[in-house]
A and B are shown apart, each in its own frame.
Chain A
Amino acid sequence: MRRTVAIGFVGTVLDYVGKGSQRWEKWRPTVSLCQQDDLIVHRVELLHDPRSRGLFERLKLDIAAISPETEVRGVEINLRDPWDFEEVYAALHDFAHGYRFDTEAEDYLIHITTGTHVAQICWFLLAEARYLPAKLVQTSPPRKKEAGEVVGSYAVIDLDLSRYDHIATRFARERDATVSFLKSGIATRNASFNRMIEQIERVAVRSKAPMLLCGPTGAGKSLLARRVYEMKKTRHQLAGRFVEVNCATLRGDSAMSALFGHVKGAFTGAQSERAGLLRSADGGLLFLDEIGELGLDEQAMLLKAIEEKRFFPFGGDREVESDFQLIAGTVRDLRQWVAEGRFREDLYARINLWTYTLPGLAERAEDIEPNLDFELDRYAREHGEQVRFNAEAKRAYLKFATGPDARWSGNFRELSASVTRMATLSDTGRITEAVVVEELARLRGAWGGPSANPLADLLGERLATLDLFDRLQLESVAEVCRRSASLSDAGRRLFGASRLQKAKINDADRLRKYLARFDLEWQQLSAK
């Protein structure tokens, strides 16, 4: 059977009610705890200082009388000032650290009714941080002055909030609301996307660590970053501003200056001091989109700024401080870029803690419909005009939008533009089939029509004879070739893992043979 162990202070005020037999007519928290008719305390550890030794001994005898099952142990600690937070916390932390908890066989209760309020706070903090594997217990004097009743009651407080039904429901509701907020209120149906957002919610609430959002342009990275910021601001976890910058727009000296600020006279034209984006984001959230486009020097500076929360402004010799939460966005495969030496490995390691890949719209076909409704609402809000689809028109639009021909290369931004166009062209607030047919033609045109597949130009008619398996592989290989400087370069990347096992490097040859299977040559594939 599990044993129950209570830990608490000798109550120099509440437990002290005199020495005579009348003490039994007064409520004494420590005695009361051992006197509850539905709680057996098998051991009590009573903390006290040397001055309270007498009181401790009396409590020990009295507990032995009323509860023979209870073993009473004294723990002497010296507290110069039991109201001094630092001292009490340190003392109790030492106690917790040195105590041999046997959680396999014993349940622990921290009795918080005795001791100073400061001690109460320290007990709470230590239990909450799990330094003490214990629940809190509070004793209360008898409620009404019922004749002869001195025992009073007790209540166990488990700080594991998920154990309380009402609190758990409240949390669940709040989390649902937050998740919905992060999704801009769009009732998305894609299961993996929803799971990802739920995790982002949990991480954002609990952690200040950097986040990395990957995914194609228009997938909603920037919107999500802003939503995370707004959520944390509502919860008072951030007080500062939301600062967003697309690193692709930063070049040269002005990049350094824009990010880290500069001092007066740092360079020609630097006539006044500039704070820079990092400092503007102090206490807030900095969203660095396209972080892969950042130059290597800026990357080094950024790493220092993230790790030390301090950095040198351009041209300055005095460090400035800024504490911000970082969210980075990228369309690049940063791991690849690190391998190629275009992105600092240490910075990548620092921001690659919570990495999420936002899928493009085409991969979330089931979410197109709710997004469509959302975009129509947004249009109504912005233009003061409610526009609706005709039923047939909506069916036609969705059929195409969720079909295999819809590439949605511009993702949500493109869907938004498409809805705006249809809404603008609709008469009397109805989007008709004619408007939809026109819009679909526009989209097809933008995506290069049905022959948008890059292999079509290379293979022509033969494309139709390829299995999907081969086609997908060849597409990716062709893409790598296009981005590579030479056949050897492409081979090195494509056989990056297996080439290390080879006695003789022959990846150029392997690639050439692979291409030959499709009657293709390097010249056809290379960028030039």
Chain B
Amino acid sequence: MRRYSVFAIAREALRYHSGWERAWASPTPKASYDAIIIGAGGHGLATAYYLGKNHGITNVAVIEKGWLGGGNTGRNTTIIRSNYLQDPSAAIYEKARSLYETMSQDLNYNVMFSPRGVIMLAQTHHEVRGYLRTAHANALQGVETQFINAAKVKELVPIINIDGPRYPVLGGLWQPRGGTARHDAVAWGYARACSDMGMDIIQQCEVKGVRSEGGKVVGVETTKGYIGTKKLGIVVAGHSGQVADMAGFRLPVEAVALQALVSEPIKPCMDVVVMANTVHGYMSQSDKGEMVIGGGTDGFNNYTQRGSFHHIEETLRALVETFPMISRLKMLRQWGGIVDMTGDRSPLISKTPLGNCFINCGWGTGGFKAIPGSGWAMAELMAKGEPGPLAAAFSLDRFKEGRFIDESVAAGVAH
């Protein structure tokens, strides 16, 4: 792989950039692999990357129905934070956040991780108590957070209205090392690194069936033919239920559309990411200048990746109230992504009833921030056949045992 650098750009500029090589290859599938991952989104590609990097398994194919990074990886609002309440969540999201910090250097691809800081606003006394609890939990989990007062919120976010007549801002949970990254670049950077390790990323290849023998997976039927594998990782987010069905088991997961939108770009006016859970909305400003806005999920299950209006309206009301200056900006584009939600709103990184078949799903509305940690933990699970400490709590069994990891306690809104 030819490395990216300012010198490479200078060299290429002299020949009109004619010498750049492909970021990733476009191979035809081999007859079989040591491991196949279904789904070339961030989580699937990260899984492949850490299979190679941490476990030396590189005879790997990542199979993608559409184009890589085209699902939720390319549709989210790019927020990265790890100020979670429950220990298992804080562990994996903090792992992810710390991997994001060095991802550009690891992948030699600028994913523009920007630790601009994340504030979760407290607008009721109840919310204040909730975030104080999270702050105490984070202190023991090694996650750097701080409960800040309203004046400090205003200092960090000058455009915020802290004296709204309905839900004045009482303070906020501040994670200075949270932030955003360029979502597409995460998928592309991983894809390039995986391809460089000799892995095959096979796009436009839909899995139509999972073949097993003696209770163990042996391969997948695809639109490009049958491909054998020793191990299978299902990392398909919104369509997890359908692929699990092919593998012969059911999941406690449902799919709903999560709504998001961006405004037209304006000059920088907000450095940090703000989430307002009482009024339901969150907003950050991209490097391009767009206000990136998210809200809630549609109230019904579906698979269409379309924007709907009802949540957009609610979200924009909330944000106009919180940031009055956005009123005269314009909504440029709205869209939806299909998120897979478990009963406790925490993910699954788990063995399945089918031998050598593993699942990573259920990230719900907050998967982007988890990508590297999720891939790290899933790779460990696939390589060893047993979950490591990061994944252990996220097993399918927890629903049988009632051992939920309920984050709705702390974050009642999509994130």
Partners in one complex: no
- Name A residues whose Cβ lies closer than 8 Å to a Cβ of B: none
